[in-house]
Structure 1
Amino acid sequence: MGGGIVAAEEQTGFSHLLDPNKKWYNNKRLITLNAWIVILLITSCTNGYDGSMMNSLQSLPQWKNCFNHPSPSELGLLNAIQNVGALAACLFAPYMSDGIGRRYTVLFGAFIMVSAAVIQAASQSVGMFIGARFLIGFGLAFASNAAPMLISELSYPPYRAPLTATYNSLWRLGAIVAAWTTFGTYRIEDSTWSWRISSAIQGLPSLVQICLLVSKGREEQALQTLAYYHGDGNVDDPLVQYEFNEIKAALDSDRHVAANVGWKSLFSTPGNRKRMRIIIALAFFSQWSGNGIASFYLNAILTDINVTDPTIQLLINGIIAIWSLFWALLGSALIDKLGRRVLFLSSAIGVLLAWIAQTVSFAEFWQHQTPAAAHSFIAFLFVFSAAFGLGFSPLIIAYTVEILPYHLRAKGLTVFSFVVSLALIFNQYANPIALGHLVWKYYIVYCCWIAFEVVFLYLFVVETKNLTLEETAAVFDSK
């Protein structure tokens, strides 16, 4: 569907057109639609798999021996190079999403990631491994630009916000698969297959997308697609007509306005500057809230608190991934009930309190080597993961897509992805070096930064619950 539905993630403007008895679980066509959307949702799994896999590989003696025990700076490069690849593709992704369509852009990215996963699994040197990870990031930039927009544009209105929020939450599903795969392959002793299997499986979500999205065949026209999935085949259904008229309005805007919309337009009006201030801040917050340490360097911090057994480290990594997915999916389900501000602020405050508690526990262990302090640190690590998963995981993509008007959506999402990659590159390269030199004192830096995040979110995040596109635009553009 070329233009896509431009209604907001809420259904206030057309709630009277919805059949209250039509649920996703009692309508075969909605079940089919949601099945296709699930294929798009797993795009995020590749990204989550990557972080957890790199975390787990650092606990594998077989991987460390194969690559001559990488130093902290080398670990930083191995982790950051994926996002360097994403940065290289960022400027091209929105043009492909708008030019050849969302679905074909997802497929393009998926083909690159499958090829890269094969190269990664076959790596014979650090350089080959780094090159493969660059390609994974390059392909992921295309897929992750198009997939959340297509999810938002295809979803049946009452489920649009939860489904879009679920997109980033499934980062955790990829992390679960990586953590437990590596936990199992760790037992393949004296063999490089202990890490090669994990590296190859990273391409599995993309391979599923290629097989199923290609088999779907030629895209139908917008009206027929809407009628089939949203109106049980009736092109005269009031909801279908309502949505189709919005598509025509969006395409008309695309012809007469968006053709002249450049990157400067993202900052050309007070409303757009307000949007971009929030989006850029959320991009940094999504990676600079302490999660960059827990996601990529869990091995290092567990070693610092004297948890050195690889089996225990891998087990903690696997359990945290499952725990985090639960809270992220809960946040996705509550997005329409609690609203965006409540979830964002609850998440940020919870993250701040948990991080302060981790800092105190870490300092106590480092100074007095108290086992109880190490145990409390691990407990607060779980509290931190729950708090982060509740709000940040589901909202950062969903809210970004939600507040951007159609003609700015692809470019705005690209800016978000670009800033995320910049933040990740800094985190992944700086964190192991800073942890090596400052140890627990480095946690104080994050305490101050997360406190700033709480204040920013309270002052600037706009509630969009129960607002249509026009009402959301009015809030941002002061109309």
Structure 2
Amino acid sequence: MAGGIFAAERQSGFTHLLDPNKKWFNNKRLITLNAWIVLLLITSCTNGYDGSMMNSLQSLPQWKDYFNHPSPSKLGLLNAIQNIGSLAAYPFAPYLSDGIGRRRTVILGASIMLLAAIIQAAAQSVGMFIGARFLIGFGLTFAANAAPMLVSEISYPPYRAPLTATYNSLWNLGAIIAAWTTFGTFRINSTWAWRIPSALQGLPSVLQIFLAWFLPESPRWLVSRGREEQALNTLAYYHADGNPDDPLVQYEFNEIKAAIEFDSNVVANIGWKSLFSTPGNRKRMRIIIAIAIFSQWSGNGIASYYLNQILTDIDITDPTVQLLINGILTIWSLLWALIASGLIDRLGRRLLFLSSTIGVLLAWIAQTVSFAVFWEHGIPAAAHSLIAFIFLFSAAYGLALSPLIVVYTVEILPYHLRAKGFTVFNFTISLALIFNQYTNPIALAHLAWKYYIIYCCWIAFEIVFLYCYVVETKNLTLEETAALFDGKSAIEEITGNGFGSVLHDGQESSKEKDVAQLMEIEDIRRDSQSMTKNA
């Protein structure tokens, strides 16, 4: 097992090509690039805003009165309809991302979400409110499919993983804005108490509609469309101050070209079946589907959408207190997710995934015990400890199950499968969410604390799965990570398709050096397999 861990410590082939003095804060073009990336990252805010807003609205008497105090089943529909809208868009999202490009797909999604937010804020009936939430989910699918891929594909190499991990972390920023907005409008004695938060859900979309036209397009998408000169110029402008002959730019450009040529020459079928057509792809999809499910079935669905019901069950019924707890919890969650995003390349994916799920399990067991003691004996201290353990749970969840799932999914998928594979990931999340949003309020109403025991067993299974199957990918480029899963034959094919022209330390490398460099990645793959067998 140790061999796999040590192998993963090796540095990527581009590391020695980096200027050690070039940082995100002292280079104007990196500052500009990262500003554009922030515009993409806020896509996740819309999703986080939605979950927290719906949680908060359930504490608002104005919202409950206007919609005649929705029953548990109606509440489930109100929460789940956004994900049903997402499901409706999934068949189209990857074709748009690969067809019209990442940037235009983000703009299309933002336009649909802005229209939906306007309808939601103006809702005159529960049906109109449900319809608007369906449209929000429909538009979000397009933006959420393209945005994280574009972040990963344009980032400066050392910052790729932390920035892509920040994408999902900013779910919590959206949740913070929604929680505190609703807390602020709570005292408005009219329907504007919930209409204002509903309208503000469209703010990120407004920014993207007006500014995303100036974003750089993915160099990988440009190469796939035969626009190689534009791809090279994009890499040169943002990664090397406009120098197309820079060794790092040449490395990236030739690596992208070789990988895409390999995809087009070797992979005859790039349809949906190709996601499961090879052993490497099956390994990818097994992990991707699993972490998508784990991200929603680890108990977080209760805290995200039904915190007010839990607080009510432990006799914390004051809407002001409920909204305050929700607002503080969202800030706490964002803090831990951002910390984990910054440490992703130092600690590695395996350590963070395992630490996160073990922490989630321990915190969830503690919540179960506290809830049971209060429910059976009515001890106030048990209710207070439950709140404390909810915060500990949120911190543990933020170590991996929030920030890592998107970056890990994007980086283990090769370019030709990235849009479709990421769609499967989001589709799986939506299915898991719909199940949670329908079952959680009903199960909590009937089983109360006993429902928590089911999650205890499931989270224990998650730990075993992640220990056995997660492969370490830190400090690798997207193309190197693809070779990690596809093995020696893919490496040899890629090295034969253009890596001989990659520059090292300003000198032209021989093909033998390139092969040796990528053979190290094959060693990581082989050691990772050994680690899995030993586990």
TM-score past 0.5 threshold: yes
Q: Where do residues 183-262 of structure 1 align in structure 2 (5 Å cutoff)?
A: 183-189=183-189, 191-215=190-214, 221-253=230-262, 255-256=264-265, 260-262=269-271
Distance 1:398 1:472 in 2: 12
Give the match's secondary structure for 2:25.
coil
| Structure 1 residue aligned with 2:447 | 438
| Structure 1 residue aligned with 2:525 | none
Decide which of 437, 456, 462 is 1:428's aligned counterpart.
Answer: 437
Give the match's secondary structure for 2:399.
helix
Distance 1:341 1:217 in 2: 32
Aligned residues: 470
The answer to whether 1:91 aligns with 2:91 is yes
Distance 1:144 1:465 in 2: 23
The structure with more radius of gyration = 2
Letter in 2 for 1:304: D
Distance 1:466 1:94 in 2: 27
Distance 1:153 1:216 in 2: 12
Task: State the Cα distance separating 1:23 from its structure 2 match.
Answer: 0.3
Letter in 2 for 1:212: L
Share of identical aligned residues, percent? 80
The answer to whether 1:408 aligns with 2:417 is yes
> Where has structure 1 moved over 2 Å in runs of 4 or more?
214-220, 246-260, 466-479
Task: State the Cα distance separating 1:476 from its structure 2 match.
Answer: 2.2
Query: Compared with structure 1, are the counterparts of its residues 39 and 470 closer, same or farther at alpha carbon in structure 2 (3 Å cutoff)?
Result: closer
Distance 1:390 1:158 in 2: 20
Distance 2:242 2:294 in 1: 43
CA contact (8 A) 2:414 2:479 kept: no
| Structure 2 residue aligned with 1:465 | 474
Q: TM-score when scaled to structure 2?
A: 0.86
> What per-residue deviation string (whole Å, max 9, x for no partner) do you get for residues 119-138 of structure 1?
00000000000000000000
| Structure 1 residue aligned with 2:367 | 358
| Structure 2 residue aligned with 1:395 | 404
| Structure 2 residue aligned with 1:317 | 326
Letter in 2 for 1:165: A
> What per-residue deviation string (whole Å, max 9, x for no partner) do you get for residues 34-69 of structure 1?
000000000000000000000000000000000000
> What per-residue deviation string (whole Å, max 9, x for no partner) do you get for residues 62-98 of structure 1?
0000000000000000000000000000110000000
Give the match's secondary structure for 1:13.
coil
CA contact (8 A) 1:11 1:157 kept: no
Query: Compared with structure 1, are the counterparts of its residues 367 and 148 closer, same or farther at alpha carbon in structure 2 (3 Å cutoff)?
Result: same
> What per-residue deviation string (whole Å, max 9, x for no partner) do you get for residues 277-327 of structure 1?
000000100000000000000010000000000000000000000000000
| Structure 2 residue aligned with 1:162 | 162
| Structure 1 residue aligned with 2:32 | 32
Distance 2:427 2:210 in 1: 29
| Structure 1 residue aligned with 2:286 | 277
Q: Where do residues 43-54 of structure 1 align in structure 2 (5 Å cutoff)?
A: 43-54=43-54
| Unpaired segments ≥5 residues, structure 2 | 1-7, 219-228, 489-535
CA contact (8 A) 2:106 2:144 kept: yes
Task: State the Cα distance separating 1:225 from its structure 2 match.
Answer: 1.2
CA contact (8 A) 2:157 2:477 kept: no
Give the match's secondary structure for 1:167.
helix
> What per-residue deviation string (whole Å, max 9, x for no partner) do you get for residues 170-193 of structure 1?
00000000000000000102x000
CA contact (8 A) 1:11 1:468 kept: no
Distance 2:246 2:137 in 1: 42
Task: State the Cα distance separating 1:465 from its structure 2 match.
Answer: 1.7
> What per-residue deviation string (whole Å, max 9, x for no partner) do you get for residues 333-389 of structure 1?
010000000000000000000000000000000011111000000000000000001
CA contact (8 A) 2:103 2:215 kept: no
Q: Where do residues 325-344 of structure 1 align in structure 2 (5 Å cutoff)?
A: 325-344=334-353
Letter in 1 for 2:56: S
CA contact (8 A) 1:11 1:158 kept: no
Distance 1:202 1:362 in 2: 33
Letter in 1 for 2:152: S
Decide which of 443, 450, 463 is 2:459's aligned counterpart.
Answer: 450
Q: TM-score when scaled to structure 1?
A: 0.96
Distance 1:108 1:446 in 2: 38
Give the match's secondary structure for 1:188.
coil
| Structure 2 residue aligned with 1:5 | none
Letter in 2 for 1:192: T
Letter in 1 for 2:252: E
Give the match's secondary structure for 2:296.
coil
Higher relative contact order (CA 8 A, sep 6+): 1
Give the match's secondary structure for 2:13.
helix
Query: Compared with structure 1, are the counterparts of its residues 217 and 405 closer, same or farther at alpha carbon in structure 2 (3 Å cutoff)?
Result: closer
| Structure 1 residue aligned with 2:71 | 71
CA contact (8 A) 1:94 1:410 kept: yes
Distance 1:431 1:11 in 2: 44
Task: State the Cα distance separating 1:18 from its structure 2 match.
Answer: 0.5
The answer to whether 1:103 aligns with 2:103 is yes
Distance 1:374 1:424 in 2: 27
Letter in 2 for 1:300: Q
Task: State the Cα distance separating 1:218 from its structure 2 match.
Answer: 8.8
| Structure 2 residue aligned with 1:122 | 122
> What per-residue deviation string (whole Å, max 9, x for no partner) do you get for residues 15-35 of structure 1?
111000000000001000000
CA contact (8 A) 1:253 1:407 kept: no
Task: State the Cα distance separating 1:466 from its structure 2 match.
Answer: 2.6
Distance 1:357 1:118 in 2: 42
| Unpaired segments ≥5 residues, structure 1 | 1-7
Letter in 2 for 1:413: F
Task: State the Cα distance separating 1:242 from its structure 2 match.
Answer: 1.2
Distance 2:324 2:140 in 1: 28
CA contact (8 A) 2:120 2:132 kept: yes
Give the match's secondary structure for 1:221.
helix
